[in-house]
Amino acid sequence: MKSIGIIGVGSYLPETVISNTEIGREAGVTDEWIVRKTGIRERRRAAPHEATSDLAAEAARRALDRSGLSAEQLSYVVVATSTPDHPQPATAAIVQDLIGARQAATFDINSVCSGFVHALKVVERLLHGESGDVPRYGLVIGADIYSRILDYSDRRTAILFGDGAGATVLGPVAPGLGLLETSLVTRGDAHHLIRVDAGGSRRPASQATLEEGGHYFRMDGRGVREFVQSTLPGEIGALLRRAGTPAAAVRHFVPHQANGVMLAELWPELGLHRAALHLTLEHYANTGAASVPITLDEMDRAGSASHGDLVLLTAFGGGMSVGTILLKWSMARPDQAEQAVQSDRAAQSGGRTGEQQLAPVGAPCPPLAS
């Protein structure tokens, strides 16, 4: 079976920066309180004229540029979002038009904050199913504008979220690289923990729903924390066992950027002691389905990941849903290009290359107040 992996990444963060002082004023909390509780110091906010599709399209352009492909070479454009431009049509269709991906089929995925990881797996399977000798490519975007659905007097939610978009281009990669193992899980019995109650078919928009704030994002923070702590370590352990991969072999861990304090508490339980923990929440907060691809892009632009490194992605969100993917990094920095070419040739010819030594990599904790 052909290997499908990430061949381009990109992200877009709106220009406007919102400090803790500004967001905390209406929520009745201080900068110190927000940092101590979450590790977040600031977040970005979309401009009034920007919709989710605008953020998604700009991230897509940057990922395509990194991949060396044009939009017309795409077979699929998939947007993971829980803040679409409209109830219909799909935001992905608008993105297709904005970037000129005229040959691509499009659809949205809503698994809330885990949507990007779910979408990666869906598009990977679609590309596996393509026949013929012409390579096929897919664009997977996570994008959310939570600033439009927050109750800014609710300190439990208002302080946590920022706006942004991240994108990846998927395509054929050398054997042994790309997506290796995936776990997608939903606990529908816990769907009440994260919700927007009004605006759908159960509770259509009305004057009454507007007055009661039914269109705002609501979350049971304690319930979400308990769900993540009880579910995530087991899911990650089971995935690594299925893949036949020891935790010590994982070089990079890219989690959903939900809350820095929660991630700091969870980190020792995961057994990923030789992996680098990648965090972007200090400056971007929780960007929903965009948080994993934004952090992937930051990791790539920082030159942290080497060709062939094992990278573990995990996200959790409303539903309640959890998505975890183990992949072998298929992008090379310019200074690694020749080494990557030689490694790929050796793999394709059945040859063996020297085993990479896994030197300990620092796993920084989230930035918390002292």
* Residue among 184, 219, 121, 164 at smallest CA distance from 316: 184
Any alpha helices (H) in the chain, and if so which ranges? 20-27, 31-38, 52-67, 91-99, 115-128, 155-158, 207-211, 221-243, 260-266, 281-284, 291-301, 337-348
**H or E element that contains 89:** none
Catalytic annotation, pick one of 20, 110, 259, 286: 286
Q: For CA atoms 66, 70, 72, 75, give the dihedral sign.
A: negative
Amino acid at the residue 152: Y
Catalytic annotation, pick one of 110, 118, 252, 256: 256
Inter-residue contact 257 to 286 (CB < 8 Å):
yes
Inter-residue contact 306 to 329 (CB < 8 Å):
yes
Confirm whether 365 is a catalytic residue: no
Q: For CA atoms 87, 95, 291, 286, give the dihedral sign.
A: negative
Confirm whether 286 is a catalytic residue: yes
| CB count in 10 Å sphere of residue 317 | 27
Catalytic annotation, pick one of 113, 118, 259, 307: 113
Inter-residue contact 368 to 261 (CB < 8 Å):
yes
Q: How far apart are CA 76 and CA 128, in angstroms?
A: 13
Active-site residues, by number, are 113, 256, 286
